[in-house]
Amino acid sequence: MQHRVSRGSEATGPSTIRAFFLTPLIREFGKSGIEIDGFLRRFGLSAAQLTSLYERVPLRHFVTIAEDLSERLDRPFLGVELGEKFNLADLGPFYAMFILARDLKSALHCLSRFQSTWQTNTTLDIVRGKQCSTWCYCIRDPAIWPRRQDAEFALTSFVALIRQLTSKRWHPVSVEFEHDVRGRRTRLSEFFRAPVCGNQDANILVISNEDMDQVLHLRPGVDDSNVIPTLERHLMELLAPEEDLQHSCAGRVRELLARRLGRATVQINDIAAEMNTSVRTLRRHLMAEGTSFRDLLQERRRATIEAILRSPEGARLSALASRLSYSDSAVLSRAFKGWTGLSPRQYKKSRSD
């Protein structure tokens, strides 16, 4: 059976998640009567180890545990069930950041800023459009599949948090999942109260800009001008391991390209602005590391194209060219053949043979 590879996926370094995200799963072990340590031993883990909330756990283990537990308990919507119960308090110290957020946009940007400290090789990003914004969640490691329970847990818990910050009646404009939702759409639509579709590029909540700009009702009557920077510093120092404190310039550019390609512009001036540096300085640092912005962009484009061509659904070349900022499909085909020696159609056929 061929596994679908997430579009645009590319891992950089080990994929990990903080142990406190396993807490809801551990609770289900206790309720079901399953011997926890015996189950976790298959993954080189123990219940005692997971008492350290900030312990880094392989992300593939977390995803597999969720899938296995869903099957063992015969609860196909386990991720949804757990996400429905997710509470602001489950975020530990991040709770303070949420109740101090001025509006929904600020709260979600807070999640995006800290995402890499609690789950690596994962896209968690917001792109604002004219009327709506897209809130995207996607694991960038193609080896981690299937991951249906994780995706549904993530989007369901995000919506549960938003409802706690706004209203129990809140709902997104629409919802997209990277996995197939046939046979699941009714249950998912009941929770999200919005249209749900599957087999998409990533897991996405489409949120109206009016909702994004809504003032949150949980805000306390305090001056947060000094509180938020202080909390951010404490959280970053608490959660960021020493090896993550210094990123290479090329590594940071790769992260930004992975987040933006297909969702926002990827010109060098856009990337430099997000890194708070000048284009000239960015070019100089990349040159010192033996690469260039053009090389990194082409690397990301190639990884994205190959991932899509490997997936059963694929995509029309014209649509793919537009997403990857090529002028047309012919330019994309020439570039791809220069990398691989094969046209996109030949490459897809060779992978399916």
pLDDT tens per residue across span 275-313: 778 888 889 888 888 899 999 998 888 887 777 776 655
Query: In whole angstroms, what is the distance from residue 183 CA to residue 180 CA?
Result: 9
Secondary element (H or E) of residue 218: none
Does 254 or 153 have the greater pLDDT score?
153
Around Cβ 85, how many Cβ atoms within 10 Å?
12
Does 220 or 162 have the greater pLDDT score?
162
Average pLDDT of 110-123? 86
Query: In whole angstroms, what is the distance from residue 294 CA to residue 237 CA?
Result: 33
251-275 per-position pLDDT tens digit: 888 878 877 777 777 889 988 887 7
How much of the chain exceeds pLDDT 90, in percent?
Answer: 35
pLDDT at 5: 37
Going from the C-alpha of 274 to that of each of 122, 127, 171, 259, 265, the distances in angstroms are 18, 13, 30, 12, 12
265: phi then psi, degrees, rounded to nearest 5: -65, 150
pLDDT at 351: 65
Grouping H, G, I as helix, E, B as strand and the rest as coil, residue 60 is helix
213-250 per-position pLDDT tens digit: 988 866 555 555 566 666 665 666 566 544 443 457 88
pLDDT at 135: 95
Query: Domain spanning 249-352 has what CATH number?
Result: 1.10.10.60
pLDDT at 93: 76
pLDDT at 246: 42
Angle between helices 59-72 and 148-165 (to 10 degrees): 90
Going from the C-alpha of 176 to that of each of 75, 101, 138, 172, 286, the distances in angstroms are 21, 26, 11, 11, 35
Going from the C-alpha of 197 to that of each of 158, 180, 200, 208, 328, the distances in angstroms are 17, 8, 8, 18, 27
Rounded to two decimals, the pTM is 0.69
Segments making up each domain of the chain, as ranges? 76-212, 249-352
